[in-house]
Structure 1
Amino acid sequence: MKRLLTTILSVAFCIAVSAQGTCVINGVIDDVKTADGKKVKKVYLTRTNEYGLAETVAEAKVKKGKYTFKRELAQDEPVLMYVITGFGEGEGIEVFVEPGEVAVNTASAATPCATIIAGTPTNDTYSEYKKIIGEGVSAAEKCADESARSKEAIKSLSQRIRFLIDHNASPMTPLEIERYLLQQLTPSYADQMLKSVSATLYDHPYYLSLRNKVLASALKVGNEVPDITLPMLGGEKKHLNDLRGKYVVLSFWANGCEKSAAVLAELKNVYNVIKDNDEFVFLCFALENDAAAWKAAVESNGTNVEGWLNACDGMGADSPAAKLFGVDKAPRIILIEPEGRAVSLDQEVEELQMRIEQIMEGDLYYLDQEE
């Protein structure tokens, strides 16, 4: 009777947690010694932000090999992967945070990658997926020669792809496609994998990120451009897709770069000619690490004017926006048409002005360009 009551209370707790939008992570470490012999006394819950940087969102003390994290989730908060760290540099436990109770069982702090996780839908699905990966690695290790190992690798890859397609509504699917499969696929196959993802995930950060990577891999004149995050001068955040319906003159530039300064000066001349035409918008994206230096440069460059947007994510040359557009040096000017397709990907200002004048006169020359 006592055992039955305990079971009922446990089930009731799990249902309540799920209904309240709360994620409870209960961790157990059988052996708290890490690979370097130190004892794990505290663990940290971290996540990766949109710029690829790790952020610690919570910490918990490890008492008698146990720890707990409790996350209150906002309504409609997307299911995201977090990492439990504190086991040594580069070591961590991947766990999806979603409503419910998650059991995280680690046999040894020296090998946190072997942790068993269960309890919520996405974590259970991810555990199944990792089992397929593990079986593939094990089978490859038993092969006697390279040819046999290659066959096992192809077999394992096929099984992983099949699993992801079968679980196309799981948030882990677009994440895993981007993290581990995209680099092994041709642009055409990558696009097929993107299209295989369930429409229920179209607003999920992992789907949007995957879509951006697929668009970036096929970036050329006539194709749709990636959507980039635009941290604006005034502190608000926009996205490139917010500018759909207008022609966008996107320029990547670097503070302190003489060529960038010269190009911006030329762009101002173009701006002065068409500033009253609301079909066009100028967007400067600075590859700058120092926010204060960026803001000062915007003022000195004279681009803080109506109809000219200024953005900078503070990542400098490592900016995800620059990487999505294949920008390895500044300046770079990109012209985008109202439906979000590239008209040009690297254009001199003189030609840009000529092309803009053509468009203003109704000559949509780019529609006849070969892809």
Structure 2
Amino acid sequence: MWISEKRNLNFLLKNLKRLQIQSLQNMKNCKTFLLASVVAVAGFSSCSQTAKIEGTLHDAPDSEVIVKLLDVNKYKVLDTLKTNQSGNYKYKLEVKAGQPEFVYLFYKDTKIASLLLQKGDKVNVSSDTLGSFSVTGSDETLKLMDVEKDEAEFNDKFLATAGRLADLTPDSDDAKALKKELSSQYVKYYRSRVKYILTNSHSLTSIPVLYQVVGNGIPVFGQNTDALHFRNICDSLKTVYPESKYVKALDLEAERRQQMLTLGSRISNAEQAGFPELELADVNGQKVKLSSVDSKVVMLYFWNSADAAQNMFNLEVMKHIYNDFHAKGLEIYAVSADTDKAAWASVVKGQKLPWINVCDGFGAASPAISLYNVASLPTVYFIVDGALTQTPKVKDEASLKAYLASVLK
């Protein structure tokens, strides 16, 4: 409502002091409000970096629930929770944005929940002490539960069929029929898993699918060409979760499998040599080609002179093997994954190793290591009559001697 300028001036003069006091109070209140708002926002931001679990373990009052985090390839215990008299428990863990976590709950040695938690998730878990459970509040967890359920059902069926097969005569018609059935079961499941990862290429639940095993450890994705699935899924996940430790680990595995695929391709397409060529310097600085070694059997031996156990292996096993079989047609081409060439040469000369010893000084980054897809040391390959063979099951001196005796008759 408008009033005259004179009345307005009198009003302002009369109430000037009160307005000044009120203004100061309003400023104070405003500062207090702003400060409280900042604190509240900071608190909310901090809290939003978590996921919350509320659960009930039925028929287990005053018990313990163990919370474990999947740390790439092993469990890490986060906490042990105490349930109340009703079996209820609560837990809150940090989950960073873009870095979901695989979390598992255990009652003693029994898994009672599998969770894939994202920042801000609030899940409710209901489980019993035998391992049956249900979860609400997380779509990714529901996917993970379906993945585990499908895997368990397939393995139960597959192992049951394999058990029936074990009781039959191998060449009987019934055995042949069961082998065909096992093959059919595997192919059907493999195709279903391929379909799953392709339709869920941006979900972290595809990672455990890629690592599933059949029976006693046979990988579902165990063919060399499955490297393509590992790479494609990894690249898709990197667009969504570039900082996830699970995606970074998958990236390394995809690279390893691609190297295996490349190695297999090189071996199958090699025209003159039946193996990838190496040309490295020996202790005298002279380069020695692997293809120049003219022996019926060449043991391609990857090792590291900085490892005391491998040095002892040279003295206690390798020298005996060499002395027993060298005259019969064995030569050893030993590639050392060392970065200190002087120290390597000192070990070779000190131990008086009589075979071909080479090293490029690049250690684990050596092209020879990646070319032959060496994942651990020591690693042994055999070139028999000029062709790289499938690595035999060599576990110790006895099995090594047995293999060499079989090919150096």
TM-score by length of 1: 0.50
1:206 to 246, 265, 275: 246
1:91-102 matches, cutoff 5 A: 91-99=111-119, 100-102=121-123
Q: Per the alignment, do residues 95 and 209 of structure 1 end up closer, same or farther by CA in structure 2, a change over 3 Å counting?
A: same
2:281 corresponds in structure 1 to none
Structure 1 gap ranges (5+): 1-15, 33-38, 224-249, 272-279, 286-323, 333-371
3-state SS of paired residue (1:93): strand
Q: Which has the larger radius of gyration?
A: 2
- Whole-angstrom distance in 2 between the partners of 1:138 and 1:17: 46
The answer to which structure, 1 or 2, has the higher relative contact order (CA under 8 A, 6+ apart) is 1
Which of 16, 24, 27 is the equivalent residue of 2:52?
24
Aligned residues: 237
SS in structure 2 at match of 1:31: coil
Between the aligned partners of 1:123 and 1:139, the Cα distance in structure 2 is: 25
Alignment of 1:242-321 (within 5 A): 251=304, 253-255=306-308, 257-258=310-311, 267-268=341-342, 282-283=362-363
1:55-100 Cα offsets, whole Å, 9 max, x none, are 2112221111111111132344x11212212x23364532122221
Between the aligned residues of both structures, percent identity stands at 10
Q: 248, 255, 262: which is aligned to 1:215?
A: 255
Please list the CA deviations of residues 112-133 of structure 1 after superposition, one character each: whole Å capped at 9, or x if unmatched.
1x21223213112212333444
Name the Cα RMSD after superposition.
Answer: 4.6
Q: Offset at 1:173?
A: 0.7
**Which of 196, 219, 229 is 1:183 aligned to?**
219
Out of 190, 193, 199, the residue aligned to residue 229 of structure 2 is 193
Partner of 1:9 in structure 2? none
Deviation at 1:103, TM superposition (A): 1.8
Q: What per-residue deviation string (whole Å, max 9, x for no partner) do you get for residues 250-307 of structure 1?
A: 9574236546999769712799xxxxxxxx975579xxxxxxxxxxxxxxxxxxxxxx
- Measured after TM superposition, the shift of residue 190 of structure 1 is 1.5
| Distance (whole Å) between structure 2 residues aligned to residue 175 and residue 252 of structure 1 | 37
C-alpha contact (below 8 Å) 2:66/2:108 kept by paired residues: no
The answer on whether the counterparts of 2:64 and 2:80 sit within 8 Å (CA) in structure 1 is: yes
**CA offset at residue 169 of structure 1?**
0.4
- Give the alignment of 1:140-159 within 5 angstroms: 146=178, 147-148=180-181, 150-159=183-192
Asked whether the equivalents of residues 175 and 207 of structure 1 are also in contact (C-alpha less than 8 Å), the reply is no
- Provide the C-alpha distance between the structure 1 equivalents of 2:363 and 2:233, rounded to a whole number of angstroms: 32
Correspondence for 1:168: 201
CA distance 1:152–1:257, change in 2 (3 Å) = closer
2:122–2:138 CA contact under 8 A, matched in 1? yes
Opposite residue 120 of structure 1, the aligned amino acid is S
Residue 178 of structure 1 and its aligned partner are, at CA, apart by: 2.3
Cα distance change of structure 1 residues 281 and 91 upon mapping to structure 2, 3 Å threshold: same
Cα–Cα, structure 1 residues 17 and 163, in superposed 2: closer, same or farther, change >3 Å? farther
Query: Contact between 2:55 and 2:88, CA under 8 Å: does it hold in 1?
Result: yes
Where in structure 2 are the equivalents of 1:52-71 lying within 5 Å? Answer: 52-63=73-84, 64-71=86-93
Cα distance 1:187–1:138, how it changes in 2: closer, same or farther (>3 A)?
closer
Gaps of 5+ in 2: 1-43, 165-176, 264-302, 316-335, 346-359, 366-372, 382-409
Equivalence for 1:119: 137
Q: Deviation of residue 23 (structure 1)?
A: 0.6
Counterpart for residue 329 of structure 1: 378
Equivalent position amino acid for 1:160 in 2? R
Retained in 2: the 8 A contact 1:27–1:103? Answer: yes
Give the match for residue 385 of structure 2. Answer: none
